[in-house]
Amino acid sequence: MRILLAVDGSPGSEAAVDEVCRRPWPPESEVRVVTVLSPIDYILMQEAAHSPVNFDDILEQQGMEAAKRLSEIVDDLAQRAPGLQVTPRLLEGLPKEAIVDEAEQWSADLIVIGSNGYGSIKRFVLGSVSLAVALYAPCSVEIVRHLPIQSRSDLSSLDSDSPWQ
């Protein structure tokens, strides 16, 4: 099985990594961990800068940080899920498109992606990467939601009469 794990450093993507580690996968399963460097970030930095800034240096720094994050996730997966074959891949472009394109080119069977849990206004303005991936992916998509600690404790305190148990 080929699993494309899309990460961005958010709590939602950390939950997606946890979910991949938690699952029993078929033997010989492969995980490709991807993160996307977006040109939108570059444009926003240019507009926000009040003084001259070398944006190439900033982009290079972002790329190094993303590569480091990918390496850490690969190491974490190797330790927590040793049966998986894991490879990192740093992509460039719009995250929505880059993830779907990579899944298509790599022939992924499943995309696992975290939800950032934006409210309706932020989702309208920023768009939802996980929703776009779910709508346009060439394979199944699992969207993993990060539950804050308080929400987890709320779930554990449900009555036995609750329909959620």
Question: Domains, the chain, ranges and CATH?
Answer: 2-156 (3.40.50.620)
42/33 Cα distance (integer angstroms): 23
Residue 7: CB atoms within 10 A of its CB come to 22
Residues making up the chain, counted from first to last:
165
> What pLDDT, on a 0 to 100 scale, did the predictor assign at position 56?
64
The pLDDT of residue 78 is above 90: yes
Mean pLDDT of 72-98: 94
Average pLDDT, the chain: 81
At residue 164 the predicted structure's pLDDT band, cuts being 50, 70 and 90, is very low
Residue 158 vs residue 100, higher pLDDT: 100
Provide the whole-model pTM: 0.77
% of the chain beyond a pLDDT of 90: 53
Q: Which residue has the tokens 């190439």?
A: 56
Write the pLDDT tens digit of every residue in 93-141.
889 999 999 999 999 999 999 987 554 544 444 458 898 999 999 999 9
At residue 63 the predicted structure's pLDDT band, cuts being 50, 70 and 90, is confident
Mean pLDDT of 139-152: 78
36/67 Cα distance (integer angstroms): 10
> What pLDDT, on a 0 to 100 scale, did the predictor assign at position 80?
96
57/32 Cα distance (integer angstroms): 27
CB within 8 Å of 38: residues ≥ 6 apart: 92, 93, 94, 95
> Residue 60: what are its φ and ψ, rounded to 5°?
-60, -40
Pick from 3-7, 47-51, 52-56 the range whose average pLDDT is largest.
3-7
Residue 133 vs residue 64, higher pLDDT: 133
